[in-house]
Amino acid sequence: MHEDLTHLKYLLIEIESDITACNIMSANAKLNDKVPLRIKIISMGNAEVGKSCIIKRYCEKRFVNKYLTTIGIDYGVTKVTLQERDIKVNIFDMAGHPLFYEVRNEFYKDTQGAILVYDISDRGSFTSLDRWLEELNSEINNKTEVDSIVVCVCGNKTDLKRQVDESEGQLWADSHGFHFFETSALTGEGVNELFQVLFEGVVRTCENGGKREPIAIQLGYTKEQIEAIQRLKNAKNDYERLGLYPGASKDDVNKAYRKLAVLLHPDKSIAPGSEDAFKLLVTARTALLKRC
């Protein structure tokens, strides 16, 4: 294994010099629209979330059912045309497995765009997003450079039974100023839109002298509301739904009810799922009061 990784590193150094050349060219390209703009994109996210499949779906319009883990890194180039301008996209598809950290850490430098992928049917991959962001920050180790990267957060495998609600993913992405998409590499849903927005964002950043444009956030709901909706939906019993311990008093029940009702009343809350959560809240309160 160790020998394999050493070999990979040599290979990576070669690609790395190619990318440095790309960056010099992209600076020139700003002066001349006829020269193709070269951009560097990376993929991040836990092993098996579908990073390689999303890229394959976009570039080759096909889906690979069998899991072939990426060994260290996969490199590919694709060409796109945006507003009559040719763009050469260098894609560095990273391996998500911790074993390959020593290989992929070489590749964060000079990144202009990233897809940060989780699997909506695997909550663990969603909670790992913070860790991936930490890795990006610590490898680039320059806040201005990190802030210039256009990031598209991607909840993949929408064709499977979900463990992570769309609103949770949207909220996480919004809270970091990132774009958000849900995709299925299997059906192709959302994949073209994801890359279109990513490439457009990177090109605009280049034209803007390397400064990323802020994303308009129109959320209108809070993390507290999303967490309350999740708890009402997923709790094992009515006490848990209201955030109470078994045997809570009538007063406790009413107090907890009022707090949640203010948070989730459908007339006031636009958080997705508020209406159903509010119904669950009313039913839970009625059932608990009968027991007090």
Ligand X SMILES: Nc1nc2c(ncn2[C@@H]2O[C@H](COP(=O)(O)OP(=O)(O)OP(=O)(O)O)[C@@H](O)[C@H]2O)c(=O)[nH]1
- Minimum CB distance to ligand X smaller for 194 or for 263: 194
Given 26, 46, 52, 183, the residue binding Mg ion (CB under 5 A): 52
Quick check: 162 binds ligand X (CB under 6 A)?
no
Q: Are 116 and 144 spatial neighbours (Cβ–Cβ below 8 Å)?
A: no
Give the shortest CB-70-to-Mg ion separation in angstroms: 3
Which residue lies nearer to ligand X by CB, 96 or 206?
Answer: 96
CB of 116 to ligand X, least distance (A): 11
Yes or no: say if 185 and 156 are a contact pair by the CB < 8 Å rule.
yes
- Pair 156, 180: CB distance under 8 Å: no
Q: Which stretch binds Mg ion (CB under 5 A): 30-38, 44-52, 144-152, 256-264?
A: 44-52
- 1-9, long-range: CB < 8 A, 24+ apart: 1/99, 4/71, 5/72, 5/102, 5/103, 8/71, 8/72, 8/73, 8/103, 9/103, 9/106
Identity of residue 64: V
Task: Convert residues 69-98 into a mask of x (bound to Mg ion by CB under 5 A) and - (unbound).
Answer: -x----------------------------
What the block records as the tokens of 212 is 């990323």
Q: In the window 35-54, what residues touch ligand X (CB under 6 A)? A: 45, 47-53
Residue 101 vs 255, nearer CB to ligand X: 101
Give whichever of 44 and 140 is closer to ligand X, judged by the CB atom. 44
The footprint of ligand X on this chain (CB under 6 A) covers a number of residues equal to 24
Query: Does 157 help bind ligand X (rule: CB under 6 A)?
Result: yes
End-to-end CA distance of the chain: 63
Minimum CB separation of residue 152 from Mg ion in Å reads 17
Binding partner at 185 among ligand X, Mg ion, none, C-beta below 5 to 8 Å by kind:
ligand X
CA distance 13 to 19: 10
Which of Mg ion, ligand X, none sits in contact with 47, Cβ below 5 to 8 A by type?
A: ligand X
Give Cα separations from 67 to 14, 51, 77, 96, 170 (angstroms).
28, 11, 22, 13, 27
Residues with Cβ within 8 Å of 44's Cβ and at least 6 positions away in sequence, in order, are 51, 94, 96, 114, 115, 116, 117, 132, 135, 136
Binding mask 65-94 for ligand X (x = CB under 6 A): x-xxxx------------------------
Counting contacts by CB under 5 A, is residue 148 touching Mg ion? no
E strands, the chain, are: 37-44, 73-82, 85-94, 113-119, 150-156, 179-182
Report in angstroms how near the CB of residue 39 gets to Mg ion at its nearest.
20
Q: Which of 7-15, 157-165, 240-248, 269-277 is the region at the interface with ligand X (rule: CB under 6 A)?
A: 157-165
Least distance from Mg ion to the Cβ atom of residue 47, Å: 8
Q: For residue 72, give every residue at least 6 positions away whose Cβ sits within 8 Å of its Cβ, in sequence order, or none.
A: 5, 8, 12, 95, 100, 103, 104
Contact of 170 with 179, CB cutoff 8 Å: no
- Binders of ligand X among residues 119 to 138 (CB under 6 A) are none
Give the residues lining the site for ligand X (CB under 6 A): 45, 47-53, 64-65, 67-70, 95-97, 156-157, 159-160, 184-186
